[in-house]
Structure 1
Amino acid sequence: MNCLGYGSHIRQARRDAYMEWDRLRNARLHAILLITTGSKAEGLTRPYESDMDKLFVVRGVICLESGVNSGILPRETIVFTLNTDMCYHGHCRLHLERHGIMIPQVVHDALCDDGNGHVLLSSALYLDIYNTMELMQGEVLHENAGPSRPSSIGSLHTDSVYSFRCHCPCILLRWAKRSRHWPQPDIVQKVVTLGAFVTPVGFKCSEYQHVEWRICFNTGENELMNSLNNTQVYIYVLLKMVVKDVLKPVKKEITSYTVKNIVFWLAENNPQAQFNESTLFYWLREGLDQLRVAILKIHFQYYMLPERNLMAACGLDERQKSTWVNTITDMMNEGSNTLLRLPRIRKAIISHPEPMMWYSKKRVELELLQLKLWNRSMQCEDANGVVKFSEPMLQAINNRMIEIMREVRQRIYWEGIWLDDMDEIRNMMLM
């Protein structure tokens, strides 16, 4: 797992780099707060390996749980009230309670009347507004996926979600008061203080989904992921591989987010001392069993809000369900041989250790340099966003990256593979 880039040191280095990227970017943003979430914030993927999940939070807007006093908030803050009546668990409508001093244009244009004299914020209109925004140079916009606005620039794919802060103390306190083995009380308290967000997506089966929003706990879940021990992280990684490389869902009938919640429940319900290297395969089997039951029943409880079924409206048909249940059952009976079904693990097992270790070290170094390059480039931008590439540190980073790629190119020449394009080598190593 360390050779494949899942060791604790590289995970921490990735997390630190993306936190620094957010800090630098937010120092230049005024109306928006940017937060990296998902696998990048968890430190589990290389730069180009999967989408970069970005949460954009509009400043000066707050959504309050019903019954929370808005009087203590600054007068200029725009306030919406969560209305969960007749909404599926974990979803709500946003009623405008207070205009503040000035409503941002993107918010104003998404307001609508509910027919009963109340002003609602439409999630569909809000998302449509962001879909019409001007793209960056070279950016390509892709089809929406839930609340996200996917786009790409070359090999870098980004999922952008535009949201508002949500203060829902009752929901979080219900979560915090549960009896548990994990996480520790200080982590529980931190998750509570981090609060929640609402994102523009309604429940799929609701006829009013165009005015519904989903309550999310992105920053709290980042904190929970960072508090898992190595064995729990490895279980999560292996289960994600099972979903992606073995089950291969086509329409997100089951996602890595469901897998994450499986690991959260395992961690909460069992003593932490039981999660260690010697029990990895036992817990992997337990995770597979929970995945199998979730598919069989088309039901799995959301960790933060158990009333919400993460499998609801997933579109899983009976034939596919039966095939997946049988496949997972077979994997559970295979013991450690289960790993041979996972392409990345299988390749690592059959590879000669020396070249694999050499390549792993080069890839880790190149990745860390790429992360430094991104952050340093931002520090070297002028007021117009133009990067001063002649800056000595930028040049040093870039020169060392070129050296590494040349070393890798020479090594693969010896293996009989002709690959001369440096950009292709870089993308191959960072994906």
Structure 2
Amino acid sequence: MTRLGYGEQIRRWRVEKFKKRASLINAGLSDVTVITAGSKAEGLTCVYESDRDDLLVLEGILCVEAGISLQTIPDGIGVYRMDTHAYSGHCRLLLERQTRKHFETIYNALFDNGQGDILLSSSLFLDELSAYIPTDSSVVNHERAGPSLPRSIGGEPHTVMVCALRCHCPSILQRWASRPRHWPSPVLVQKVVSLGANVTAVGFKESEYKHMEWRIGFNTGESELMNNLNDTQAKVYVMLKMIVKDVLRPSQKEITSYVMKNIVLWQAERNPQNKFYAQSFLHWLHDGLRALRTAIVTQQLSYYMIPERNLMAASGLTYRQQSHWVEVITDMMAEGPRVILGLPKIRRAIVASPEPMLWYSMKRMELEMLELENMILNVSCLENGVLDAIRQEILRREMEILMGIQLWMSEEGCTVNALTDIRNRMLK
């Protein structure tokens, strides 16, 4: 798995570079803060392997729990009170205080419920946002999914944008922090608490009032937790994601990678860290598969941050899917170590000759590092002359690597593709 791009070194490199990218972007913004979320923030996918999730947090607005005094919040900040009488992990937002300066998308999403309250509608907010986001001929907007607005430029993977509001919910975070646990450490627990929460514009699927509900999330805190998993735990998560994608192959997101993430976080919290080491990988992979099978059978999996929220609720799982997937997972668990041979990516790496595989792995890693550096340049503030010189050197080295791969493919009798195709395939 290290040779396939899931090792500790490249993982840390990705995390650092995506943090730097967000920092450079935010240096030029005032009303919005961009946060890298999902697998890119965790360093667990190659640069072109999956969507890039950008969380756009609107500044100057704060959502607060009941019982928090407005006197403690600066006058320049708009305040919404969280009504948590909704499905666990969700809330409705009631306007408490508006400021002179406000986002048009927010203002147009407000409505009177006829009972003297002004609420912020999640569905109206997304409608306004979809119409507001600028586009051009090179940008392709894709179908909206939950609170996200996916778009792509050219042939690159989707950039998934999710707009969020800051949320101050100390009671929820303290309930999480006070749980008895093996992991994370007290220091990390307090850091996660300090990172706070946000709400995104999506209600519970089966709620009668989903059009005005918002979901409470902890993106930055969860990324911090994932980045503190050890190498074995991170690889168990990656392998579980591969199994869902390549073996179970859900068609309507009945099971998502987020379910796998929560399974791994519960594993880490409930077991001593010294039990997670390289030789125990298969044990924890089987333990994760067992937890997934139980979640499918019972349609129950507690959200790691708010256990009362069931991640399998309204999943859309049919009885036929349940029966089939339970049978598949049971068979996989019975296979023992051979279970990993059912994954195309892993199987190809195992059957490949060691020396060429190692050479290819090193080239792929260098190519990705160069591509990440180029990503940073695209948002940097360097002078044009310096920028062009660095970019030319990166391009020169990328071409050198790709031509070497192209020559190797030709000598092996493979169909030789264009260099851009080779690059895209190597970085997926």
TM-score interval, normalised by the smaller of the two chains: over 0.9
Give yes or no for the alignment of 1:119 onto 2:115: no
Q: TM-score, normalised by structure 1?
A: 0.97
- Find the counterpart in structure 2 of residue 265 from structure 1: 266
Q: Tell me the alpha carbon deviations over residues 406-425 of structure 1, each in whole angstroms, 9 at most, x when there is no partner.
A: 11111111111232412111
- Find the counterpart in structure 2 of residue 306 from structure 1: 307
Within a 5 Å distance, the mapping from 1:17-416 to structure 2 comes to 17-85=17-85, 87-132=86-131, 133-153=133-153, 154-380=155-381, 391-416=388-413
Secondary structure of the 1:95 match is strand
Q: CA deviation at 1:137?
A: 5.0
Can you give the 5+ residue segments of structure 1 that lack an aligned partner in the other structure? none
Structure-2 separation of matches of 1:370 and 1:136 = 24
Secondary structure of the 1:378 match is coil
Secondary structure of the 1:4 match is helix
Q: TM-score, normalised by structure 2?
A: 0.97
Secondary structure of the 1:187 match is helix
Contact 1:75 1:101 (C-alpha < 8 Å) held by counterparts:
no
Give yes or no for the alignment of 1:427 onto 2:428: no
Structure-2 separation of matches of 1:27 and 1:380 = 10
Which range moved further: 277-286 or 12-21? 277-286
Structure-2 separation of matches of 1:78 and 1:45 = 37
Q: Tell me the alpha carbon deviations over residues 351-373 of structure 1, each in whole angstroms, 9 at most, x when there is no partner.
A: 11111111111111010001101
Can you give the 5+ residue segments of structure 2 that lack an aligned partner in the other structure? none
Secondary structure of the 2:44 match is coil
Q: CA deviation at 1:29?
A: 1.2
Structure-1 separation of matches of 2:208 and 2:12 = 43
Q: Tell me the alpha carbon deviations over residues 245-275 of structure 1, each in whole angstroms, 9 at most, x when there is no partner.
A: 1100000001110010000001101111111
Query: Structure 1 203/381 Cα, relative in aligned 2: closer, same or farther at 3 Å?
Result: farther
Q: CA deviation at 1:333?
A: 1.0
- AA in 1 matched with 2:322: K
Query: Structure 1 167/359 Cα, relative in aligned 2: closer, same or farther at 3 Å?
Result: same
- AA in 2 matched with 1:424: D
Contact 2:204 2:210 (C-alpha < 8 Å) held by counterparts:
yes
Structure-2 separation of matches of 1:325 and 1:242 = 13
Secondary structure of the 1:59 match is strand
Query: Structure 1 264/344 Cα, relative in aligned 2: closer, same or farther at 3 Å?
Result: same
Q: Tell me the alpha carbon deviations over residues 268-297 of structure 1, each in whole angstroms, 9 at most, x when there is no partner.
A: 011111111121111111111000000000
Q: CA deviation at 1:155?
A: 1.6
Q: Tell me the alpha carbon deviations over residues 10-55 of structure 1, each in whole angstroms, 9 at most, x when there is no partner.
A: 0000000000000000001111100001000000111111000110
Contact 2:377 2:387 (C-alpha < 8 Å) held by counterparts:
no
Identity of aligned residues (%): 51
Query: How many residues align structurally?
Result: 426
Q: CA deviation at 1:390?
A: 6.4
Secondary structure of the 1:198 match is strand
Secondary structure of the 2:308 match is coil
